[in-house]
Amino acid sequence: MIDSLDIPAQTLAALHQALRSALPVRQRSELFMWSQGALHACVPHALLSCTLFDAQGQLLHHDNFYSTLMDGKTLEAATAIEAGLGADLARHCLQLGQTSLYLDRRAAPETSPATSRAQALDELRQRCNQWALGPALVVSTGAIPGSLSSCFVFFRLPTPMQPLHQDFAALLLPHLHMALLRSWASKEDAERRLADEAWALTTRQLEILNWVQQGKTNFEIAAIMSVSPLTVKNHLQKLFKRLDVHNRTQAVAKVMNTPGVFRKAGK
């Protein structure tokens, strides 16, 4: 752990803000905003994969947060529940009792003979390199007897990774764990509360919001949908009013609480 006396005051202020702003996180949309804001300032990353396990070690909940544009195949490789790299890294750490793991972009050193543990880790590293998702940092609570445990994977950290980022990830782990628990616990209620709001939007508004979620500008959306940028802007203004939000990020975060909205809008 780095001596706090060696950390610039501005960096410590960012850590304090991340710790403080984690406390009120309850909903998935709030976890998204926190992970891509205050948390990102302490541990820069392109994608955060979150996995929750039950007391028997079975995957209970899996979620992913990102605000940068990523292609669909890479997202699938990182975020799929059954065979995604995020979930597989979480399972690997839970099974081996590891609470921290770092995958850089270098090839794994050869070992002779290679143990099954080393082979499994090498395979995960190769997949991380294949999809250009490294460097990746994993922090985990480890198995908690009689309780839920969690694991978090930060993909595409800065190169080279700063030791401070690993320290901050470890310090923020309890807050990540509790935020994920609260987000999962409130999921069903949030879905019911937001279902009417989301599906009261028109098909065209949902389609536009789908492209917004993928990082497209108004001009790009207009070209895709063969309409004018002014039409896109008008739809967005009506959408913001309907959802009681002020900008694109807030709109995406709010509708994220209703599973399947973006998939259905994209049909």
pLDDT digits (tens, 9 = 90+) for 180-227: 999 998 875 655 555 555 556 777 888 888 888 888 899 999 999 989
Give how far Cα 2 sits from Cα of 114, 185, 264, Å: 33, 35, 47
Strands (DSSP E) contained in the chain are 47-53, 59-65, 100-103, 136-140, 149-155
Q: Tell whether 113 and 244 lie within a shared domain.
A: no
Q: Tell whether 51 and 116 lie within a shared domain.
A: yes
Rounded to the nearest angstrom, the gap between the alpha carbon of residue 264 and the centroid of all alpha carbons in its chain is 21
Q: Tell whether 220 and 143 lie within a shared domain.
A: no
For position 266, what pLDDT does the model report?
A: 45
Task: Report whether pLDDT(144) > 70.
Answer: yes
Q: Tell whether 51 and 179 lie within a shared domain.
A: yes
For position 102, what pLDDT does the model report?
A: 93
Average predicted confidence (pLDDT) for the chain: 86
Number of compact structural domains in the chain: 2
164, 185, 206 — which closes off a domain? 185
For position 264, what pLDDT does the model report?
A: 45
Q: Tell whether 134 and 171 lie within a shared domain.
A: yes
Task: Report whether pLDDT(25) > 70.
Answer: yes
pLDDT digits (tens, 9 = 90+) for 40-55: 999 999 999 999 999 9
Q: Tell whether 127 and 14 lie within a shared domain.
A: yes
In this structure, what CATH number is given to the domain that contains residue 79? Answer: 3.30.450.80
For position 69, what pLDDT does the model report?
A: 85
In this structure, what CATH number is given to the domain that contains residue 224? Answer: 1.10.10.10
For position 166, what pLDDT does the model report?
A: 92
Residue of 261 and 87 predicted with greater confidence: 87
Most distant pair of Cα atoms in the chain: their distance: 64
Instruction: Name the pLDDT band for 245 (thresholds 50, 70, 90).
Output: confident
CB-based contact 89:153 (threshold 8 Å): yes
Question: What percent of the chain stands above pLDDT 70?
Answer: 85
Token code pair at residue 36 = 């891509």
Token code pair at residue 70 = 């990523």
Residues composing the chain: 267
Instruction: Name the pLDDT band for 1 (thresholds 50, 70, 90).
Output: low
Q: Tell whether 109 and 229 lie within a shared domain.
A: no
pTM value is 0.70
For position 252, what pLDDT does the model report?
A: 83
For position 260, what pLDDT does the model report?
A: 53
For position 177, what pLDDT does the model report?
A: 98
For position 206, what pLDDT does the model report?
A: 82
Q: Tell whether 160 and 235 lie within a shared domain.
A: no
150, 167, 185 — which closes off a domain? 185
185, 214, 241 — which closes off a domain? 185
For position 129, what pLDDT does the model report?
A: 93
- Residue 165 phi/psi, 5-degree rounding, is -65, -40
Q: Tell whether 198 and 225 lie within a shared domain.
A: yes
Q: Tell whether 208 and 103 lie within a shared domain.
A: no
For position 263, what pLDDT does the model report?
A: 46
Distance CA 31, CA 253 (A): 9
Range of the domain at 241: 188-265
CB-based contact 74:131 (threshold 8 Å): yes
pLDDT digits (tens, 9 = 90+) for 83-107: 899 999 999 999 999 999 999 876 5
